[in-house]
Amino acid sequence: MDTLHACPPTPTRPTPPPDASPDDLAAAPGPTAAATPAVDVPALAALLDGRYADVRRLVREGLVEHAGVLEEAETLPYPEYRERVKDIVVGLASTGQTGMGFPEEYGGGADLGASIAAFETLGFGDLSVLVKVGVQFGLFGGAILQLGTRRHHDAYLERLVRGELLGCFAMTETGHGSNVQALGTTATYDPETQEFVVDTGSPEATKDYIGNAARHAELAVVFAQLVVSGEQHGVHAFVVPLREGGRVLPGITIEDDGLKMGLNGVDNGRIRFDGVRVPRTALLNEFADVTEDGRYVSEIENPNRRFFTMLGTLVQGRVCVGAAGLSAAKVALTIAVEYGLRRRQFDAGRGEEAGTEELLLDYGLHQRRLLPLLAETYALHFAQEVLTEQLHDVFSGVTTDEASRRRLESRAAGTKALATWHATRTIQECREACGGAGYLSVNRFAALKADTDVFTTFEGDNHVLLQLVAKGLLTDYASDFEDLDQLGMVRFVAGMAVETVLERTAAHKLLERIRDVLGGDDWDQDAGLFDPEYHLAMFRFREEHTLGGVARRLKRGVDDGLAPGEVFSRVQDHVISAARAHVDRLVLEAFVDKVASLPEGDLRDALNVLCDLYALSTIEADRAWFMEHGRLSSQRSKAISREVGELCRRVRPVAGELVRAFGVPREVLRAPGLLSWGDD
């Protein structure tokens, strides 16, 4: 749908003219009490749970059943905690909730969307359990399903789905993380025995930080450089046995990574291979194979495209990590908002209430700290919903074109980055908003902070992922995947006329469309502050202007004779800014579209207020950029700040309902006596 006409503006006070004086602004009438819409918690919860409400209910029941692990994480020695986590994961597998994305013939549910909904909901509980599930069924199982063929599926999937066969995903090395193409582990084909010989080679090629490796994995999907007849064919994946009967097999050395900042229920380890032989059929051969006589064959001739096609099949990992980060943020907000609705501090000094202390959430600053984060959490929730639908369409075959697949990979990368950064920021702010109580382990913030911190690194460093997003935008997803790296992106842009690059970003078309919709060159001064068309226009202008600036800088640097690496280094911060602006716009569009899809009524009105709060608080946070680029006057900037405060006051009466609709089970919040509804 046309999101420039998605939904009506929120009813509130009229927006003063841009040239209004400070006195005029101060005298503007405030909203009436009726401006705060009621929230039907069950209706909102049903909206958030969406089509997979039954799946989420099943997972919530499991969370309640195993809620004791949250305390055991703090009291058990970490070897025993690991065993407890493993037992829970195996138990969850027996209920079917961890295998929903696998084919029915192997005991799965054949529904990738249901699998992601289950994983997202599991993020309300112990995050070591979540990550162990992700390693076992998402990474290890997903690699066998997506990269393997029938022989691998028949050999492993049924036992894997039941939790009887545990494995790990051995990609990252001590010397190489994001740069997977440069991995040092080798798998050399021996035609005489029809085996691959897997070798680590150097200490830098040690597989490191591998979940499930230190104690529990029997098999590993190992990513290694394939060598056939002395020729390297790039990174491929192999199934390599690690243990038999609990004993590490000959030629394999496994070390424990030891204690970490968090997630100590997951047994991360290091793996080295010394001449380990596996049969020819160990190669996961969906995209390439080696014949018995030692010929390398693949339907994808370009080796770089082949490599990124293989990695693209694992995009669901990024979708899941972003979803899990959002769940952790929802837990933190539920605790902090409910605490703010119960805890009192300082004399209110207001009429009949004089002499009593004020609720924390009645303070404007407390609202400012928490409620924009709540609005952003809702925005990211709906953006994640759109992403999951796109993932389902691509992997179910509803959408088959290559451009859609690349856009999915880009959106997954960008959403994961913003969602996990948001989780880190939200958990910290919520901890501080709970004062000393927030510092107690029983209130979960210690675990939430420690366990989610690595989410910004899981499935790709966030800054690297945003570079992938920017590359797709600059090339309109038209270049080959070998242009993914920074030097390739510079060369691609440098080889085109800058006007052509800017044409790809469609900046001029955007401005023409904005003028048509909002009227004239002064659209940013004349539009109402609560008009979603204005919000979207501001987000789009920032995105397109920033992206055009990156293109110009790249072109200028190459024209000045600088080496491509130096050019990229100089504009890298602009690259990241352009990618973030793009994902911000996608998030806002998802929120606006969701509101527009709802029938008239209180639920739509409530979400519209949150959407306004997300849009205006985002503009406010980057108002320096908008003012520098002539899109925001100082008076309008002040008006936006005032209205963000007003929106927070409108959200305040329903803040409790908004967090309860997340559906975080009371049992996993622990310490229910801290919560306003805990004494009911």
Separation CA 651–CA 36 (nearest Å): 7
Label residue 674 by pLDDT band (50, 70, 90).
low
Q: How confident is the model over 474-484, as pLDDT tens digits?
A: 877 655 444 44
3-state secondary structure of 418: helix
- Residue 505's pLDDT is 54
Separation CA 442–CA 431 (nearest Å): 12
Separation CA 570–CA 568 (nearest Å): 5
Other beta carbons less than 10 A from residue 275's beta carbon:
11
> Does residue 672 carry a pLDDT above 90?
no
**Looking at per-residue confidence, does 602 or 402 come out higher?**
602
Contact by Cβ (8 Å): 17, 633: no
Separation CA 287–CA 284 (nearest Å): 8
Can you give 443-470 as a three-state secondary structure string? HCHHHHHHHHHHHHCCCCCHHHHHHHHH
In 433-557, DSSP assigns E strands to none
Q: What is the mean pLDDT of residues 621-650?
A: 95
Separation CA 50–CA 566 (nearest Å): 47
Q: Which two tokens stand for residue 216?
A: 């529990």
3-state secondary structure of 141: helix
Separation CA 440–CA 637 (nearest Å): 39
Label residue 13 by pLDDT band (50, 70, 90).
very low
Label residue 23 by pLDDT band (50, 70, 90).
very low
Contact by Cβ (8 Å): 276, 321: no
Separation CA 245–CA 257 (nearest Å): 22
> Does residue 338 carry a pLDDT above 90?
yes
**Looking at per-residue confidence, does 12 or 599 come out higher?**
599
Where are the domains positioned within the chain?
44-161, 168-305, 315-345+357-672
User: If you search the block for the tokens 């829970």, which residue do you land on?
Assistant: 88
| Residue closest to 559 by CA, chosen among 493, 471, 506 | 493
Give, in degrees to the nearest 5, the angle at Cα 134 between 130 and 140: 155
| Residue closest to 199 by CA, chosen among 137, 126, 273, 148 | 273
Q: How confident is the model over 263-310, as pLDDT tens digits?
A: 999 999 999 999 999 999 999 999 999 999 999 999 988 887 888 788
Give, in degrees to the nearest 5, the angle at Cα 597 between 594 and 602: 85
List b or e across 509-528, with b for residues whose CB sees 16 or more CB atoms inside 10 angstroms. Answer: ebbeebeebbeeeebbeebe
Separation CA 611–CA 482 (nearest Å): 38
Separation CA 111–CA 100 (nearest Å): 6
| Residue closest to 267 by CA, chosen among 239, 236, 242 | 242
Contact by Cβ (8 Å): 319, 116: yes
Beta bridge partners of 348: none
DSSP state, residue 136: I
- Residue 33's pLDDT is 38
- Residue 304's pLDDT is 79
CB-based contacts of 419, cutoff 8 Å, min separation 6: 322, 323, 325, 326, 380, 384
What rounded mean pLDDT belongs to the chain? Answer: 88
The sheet carrying 207-210 orders its strands as 207-210, 269-273, 252-256
3-state secondary structure of 279: strand
CA torsion 272→276→278→282, rounded to 10°? Answer: 20
What radius of gyration do the chain's Cα atoms show? 26
User: If you search the block for the tokens 């600059």, which residue do you land on?
Assistant: 474
- Residue 273's pLDDT is 98
Separation CA 455–CA 96 (nearest Å): 26
Q: Which two tokens stand for residue 52?
A: 């997979």
Q: Which two tokens stand for residue 395?
A: 């992997």
- Residue 78's pLDDT is 93
Q: What is the mean pLDDT of residues 35-43?
A: 90
Q: What is the DSSP string of 628-671?
A: HTTS--HHHHHHHHHHHHHHHHHHGGGHHHHHHTT---HHHH--
Lowest-confidence segment of 104-113, 172-181, 334-343 by average pLDDT: 172-181
- Residue 18's pLDDT is 41
User: If you search the block for the tokens 């027996």, which residue do you land on?
Assistant: 94
Contact by Cβ (8 Å): 393, 116: no
Contact by Cβ (8 Å): 426, 432: no
- Residue 172's pLDDT is 94
Beta bridge partners of 227: 188, 232
3-state secondary structure of 223: strand
Share of the chain above pLDDT 70, in %: 84
Q: Which two tokens stand for residue 511?
A: 């401005």
Other beta carbons less than 10 A from residue 303's beta carbon:
16
Label residue 405 by pLDDT band (50, 70, 90).
confident
| Residue closest to 272 by CA, chosen among 218, 217, 205, 215 | 205
3-state secondary structure of 550: helix
Separation CA 106–CA 273 (nearest Å): 31
Separation CA 170–CA 219 (nearest Å): 10
Element (H, E) at 44: helix 41-49
- Residue 97's pLDDT is 93
Separation CA 9–CA 609 (nearest Å): 9
| Residue closest to 239 by CA, chosen among 291, 202, 290, 198 | 198
Label residue 25 by pLDDT band (50, 70, 90).
very low
Separation CA 543–CA 514 (nearest Å): 14
- Residue 167's pLDDT is 98
What's the number of CA atoms in the CB half-sphere (13 Å) around residue 548?
Answer: 17
What's the number of CA atoms in the CB half-sphere (13 Å) around residue 380?
Answer: 30
Label residue 516 by pLDDT band (50, 70, 90).
low
3-state secondary structure of 221: strand
Other beta carbons less than 10 A from residue 249's beta carbon:
14
Q: Which two tokens stand for residue 660?
A: 């309860």
* Sign of the CA dihedral with 665 first, then 669, 670, and 675 last: negative
- Residue 15's pLDDT is 41
pTM score: 0.91
- Give CA 574 to chain center in angstroms: 21
Other beta carbons less than 10 A from residue 279's beta carbon:
12
CB-based contacts of 367, cutoff 8 Å, min separation 6: 361, 645, 648, 649, 651, 652
- Give the homologous superfamily in CATH for domain 168-305: Butyryl-CoA Dehydrogenase, subunit A, domain 2 (2.40.110.10)
Provide the CATH number for the domain formed by 44-161 in this structure: 1.10.540.10
> Residue 379 is which amino acid?
A
Provide the CATH number for the domain formed by 315-345+357-672 in this structure: 1.20.140.10
- Give CA 15 to chain center in angstroms: 35
